[in-house]
Amino acid sequence: MTQIWQTAVSDVDTKKISVLDRILIGRSAAMQQLKQVLSVVAPTEAPVMVQGETGVGKELVCEALHKASGRSGDLVAVNCAAIPADLLESELFGHEKGAFTGADQRRIGRIEQAQGGTLFLDEIGDMPLALQAKLLRVLETRRIQRVGGRGEIDVDFRLVTATHRALASDAEAGRFRSDLYFRINVFPVSVPSLSQRTDDIPLILEAMIGRQQDRNPDAMPPHFNQGALRALSAHSWPGNVRELRNMFERAAVLFAGRVVTAEAVQNVLLPSQGMTSVPAEPVTMQPTIIAGDDQDAIRTILEAEGSVDMRSYLRDIEERLIDAALRKNGGCVSQAARTLRLQRTTLIEKMKKLSITREAVMMN
Ligand SMILES: Nc1ncnc2c1ncn2[C@@H]1O[C@H](COP(=O)(O)OP(=O)(O)OP(=O)(O)O)[C@@H](O)[C@H]1O
């Protein structure tokens, strides 16, 4: 940390740190440094660009930043890569009734919804160039015009962005507007990868067990012994905390109420070295690949245990797919249903049955 930063963070607000601690689990040096930086920048209006590998917790950092900001409005998240380019403008800016075929009523866009709060533009590197120009204008004038609207509306929101792309090189190559890049990259924040903070794994697992018990107080959590924790620390975690969460969800089904050993980690929970096959977004994979991945684990567990609770296993897979589809589509149930190739009503029924709400999914 530079001298300037040391001076800035020496006076951090402990209340803000505790808000950040509740959301961002981890006491490693890398996480503590990140939380100190966030506590300084949270109450300001500076646009923040969150950088980091896939699954590292960029969206969670945005949530933490919003909660610690003291802003009274909502946190509104838009995944620019998940919304078709031709719909993104009206999603962000809203539209007036009759603005285009199918616009049978006025719709308030996400930017207006973030009034007084925080607008999180995830995967901003995937935003079409024409829309980038419109966003730049909003950031400069703090006004928007709904699609098909005449008047301008004042907007007050804090912008947080994230991307998996190398935006600086995209800007140099003309794939991303460099003026917008400089406007949004006022405060870059880098989230450390899980392999840089393996000390945090036990705490994160503890939090996951706590969350599982909140959801289902009768669930018997798996217990990771010291050997298992050492095996988890030695793993390379290319999918970061999302990969850890997926591993935990397997453990919760396959080792409910039982001890997880190093052997179980290596042979069942993280069977291939490096685990490069772990999906960043399980929902984007073909069903046969999901089945293939889990098949090895199921075969091993059947050999070791003689049985597996099929209903609970299938329920877990359904929950994971619905969770991932809702996240991928920014909480929109109709789009999530399309992603899962289900009728909207079927998805709603399944969500009710599994006690999944889009609000809970988007908050986690
Ligand atoms: N420090 C943490 N403590 C607890 N859970 C975490 C932490 N960091 C990430 N997670 C969990 O890991 C999962 C992935 O996090 P998130 O979606 O924020 O990652 P991301 O960096 O935005 O991923 P992507 O680049 O793919 O969009 C989420 O379930 C999140 O709750």
Of all atoms in ligand 1, which is nearest to the CA of residue 123? 27
State if residue 242 touches ligand 1 by the CB under 6 angstroms criterion.
yes
- Ligand 1 centre and the CA of 173: distance in Å? 30
**275 in the Ramachandran plot: left (φ > 0), alpha (ψ -120 to 50) or beta?**
left
Secondary element (H or E) of residue 76: strand 75-79
**Taking 80 as the threshold, does the pLDDT of residue 187 lie above it?**
yes
Domains of the chain, each with CATH number or no CATH: 3-192 (3.40.50.300), 197-363 (no CATH)
Mutate to test the pocket of ligand 1, among 199, 242, 278 (most ligand atoms within 8 A of CB): 242
The number of CA neighbours under 13 Å toward the Cβ of 132 is: 20
Atom 28 of ligand 1: nearest residue by CA position:
242
Task: Render pLDDT for 25-71 as a digit per residue (tens, 0 to 9).
Answer: 999 999 999 999 999 999 999 999 999 999 999 999 999 999 999 99
State if residue 204 touches ligand 1 by the CB under 6 angstroms criterion.
yes
State if residue 25 touches ligand 1 by the CB under 6 angstroms criterion.
yes
% residues pLDDT > 90 (the chain): 61
Give the range among 84-98, 113-127, 154-168 with minimum mean pLDDT. Answer: 84-98
Secondary element (H or E) of residue 182: helix 178-184
The number of CA neighbours under 13 Å toward the Cβ of 101 is: 1
Inter-CA distances, 2 with 6, 9, 309, Å: 6, 11, 53
At residue 51, the 3 state secondary structure works out as: strand
Of all atoms in ligand 1, which is nearest to the CA of residue 24? 1
- Ligand 1 centre and the CA of 147: distance in Å? 33
State if residue 52 touches ligand 1 by the CB under 6 angstroms criterion.
yes
Strand intervals (E) in 12-151:
48-51, 75-79, 94-95, 107-108, 118-122, 143-144
Give yes or no for a contact between 92 and 78, defined as CB atoms under 8 angstroms apart. Answer: yes
Fill in the amino acid letter for 80.
Answer: C
Q: Enumerate the β-bridge partners of residue 107.
A: 95
State if residue 164 touches ligand 1 by the CB under 6 angstroms criterion.
yes
Strand intervals (E) in 104-171:
107-108, 118-122, 143-144, 153-154, 158-162
**Taking 60 as the threshold, does the pLDDT of residue 192 lie above it?**
yes
Complex-level ipTM beyond the 0.95 threshold: yes
Q: Highest mean pLDDT range out of 18-22, 199-203, 254-258, 302-306? A: 199-203
Atom 4 of ligand 1: nearest residue by CA position:
25
Mutate to test the pocket of ligand 1, among 35, 59, 244 (most ligand atoms within 8 A of CB): 59
- Ligand 1 centre and the CA of 219: distance in Å? 23
State how far the Cα of 202 lies from the Cα of 205, in Å rounded to an integer.
5
State how far the Cα of 359 lies from the Cα of 364, in Å rounded to an integer.
9
Question: What pLDDT, on the 0 to 100 scale, is given for residue 297?
Answer: 62
Question: What pLDDT, on the 0 to 100 scale, is given for residue 11?
Answer: 54
Task: Render pLDDT for 91-100 as a digit per residue (tens, 0 to 9).
Answer: 999 988 877 8
**Taking 50 as the threshold, does the pLDDT of residue 82 lie above it?**
yes
| Other CB atoms within 10 A of residue 182 CB | 11
Q: In what order do the strands lie in the sheet with 48-51?
A: 75-79, 118-122, 158-162, 48-51, 187-190
Burial of 299 per CB tally in 10 Å (0-12, 13-18, 19+): exposed
The token pair that represents 344 in the structure block: 């909207």
Q: What is the average per-residue pLDDT within 84-105?
A: 86
State if residue 24 touches ligand 1 by the CB under 6 angstroms criterion.
yes
Rounded mean pLDDT of the chain?
A: 85
Could you please report the per-residue DSSP string of 234-269? HS--TTHHHHHHHHHHHHHHHTTTSEE-HHHIIIII
- Ligand 1 centre and the CA of 307: distance in Å? 32
State if residue 26 touches ligand 1 by the CB under 6 angstroms criterion.
yes
Nearest to 311 by CA among 353, 282, 339, 283: 353
Question: What pLDDT, on the 0 to 100 scale, is given for residue 53?
Answer: 92
- Ligand 1 centre and the CA of 58: distance in Å? 6
If one compares 12 and 88, the residue with the highest pLDDT of the two is 88
Question: What pLDDT, on the 0 to 100 scale, is given for residue 356?
Answer: 86
Task: Render pLDDT for 2-28 as a digit per residue (tens, 0 to 9).
Answer: 555 555 555 555 666 788 999 999 999
